[in-house]
Amino acid sequence: MTCARWLVLLAIVSCCQTAPAAETGSRTEKPNLIWIWADNLGYGDLAVYGGRSVRTPAIDRLAAEGVRLTQYYVAHTVCSPSRAALLTGRQPFRTGVVDVLRPDSPTGLANEEITLAEALRSSGYATQAIGKWHLGDRPQYLPCRQGFDSYLGLPYSMDMLPTLLIRDDRVERRLPGEEVAHVTEWLTDEAIRFVTANKDRPFFLYFSHTIPHPPLVIPEEFRVGGRSTYEGALEYMDQQIGRLMETLDKLGLREKTLVVFSSDNGPMHSEGKAGALRGRIRDSYEGGVRVPLLASWPGTLPAGRAVDTPAIAYDIFPTLVHLAGGKVPDDRAYDGQDIWPLLSGRGEFHRKAPFFWVYDDRVTAVRDGQWKLHVGRHDRALAQPELYDVESDPGESHNVAAQHPQVVARLQATVNEYEKQIPKVWSLKYPVRDPARLPSGIRRE
* Cα separation values, 199 from 196, 203, 315, 325, Å: 5, 8, 27, 19
User: Nearest 5°: CA angle at 231, between 229 and 234?
Assistant: 110
Q: Are 32 and 253 in contact (CB under 8 A)?
A: yes
Provide the CA 430 distance to its chain's centre, in angstroms. Answer: 27
Phi and psi dihedrals of 377, rounded to 5?
-110, 180
Catalytic residue among 16, 76, 134, 374: 134
Distance CA 142, CA 129 (A): 10
3 part of the active site: no
Q: Are 39 and 210 in contact (CB under 8 A)?
A: yes
15 part of the active site: no
Contacts of 150 (CB under 8 A, 6+ apart): 3, 128, 129, 144, 168, 194
Contacts of 261 (CB under 8 A, 6+ apart): 36, 37, 38, 59, 62, 241, 292, 293, 294
Q: Using CA atoms in the order 199, 200, 206, 212, what is the torsion angle rounded to 10 degrees?
A: 10
* Cα separation values, 395 from 139, 359, 370, 392, Å: 42, 21, 13, 9
Distance CA 399, CA 387 (A): 5
Q: Are 87 and 133 in contact (CB under 8 A)?
A: no
Phi and psi dihedrals of 3, rounded to 5?
-80, -15
| Residue from 150, 109, 101 nearest 129 by CA | 150
Catalytic residue among 79, 144, 213, 374: 79
Q: Which residues are catalytic?
A: 79, 134
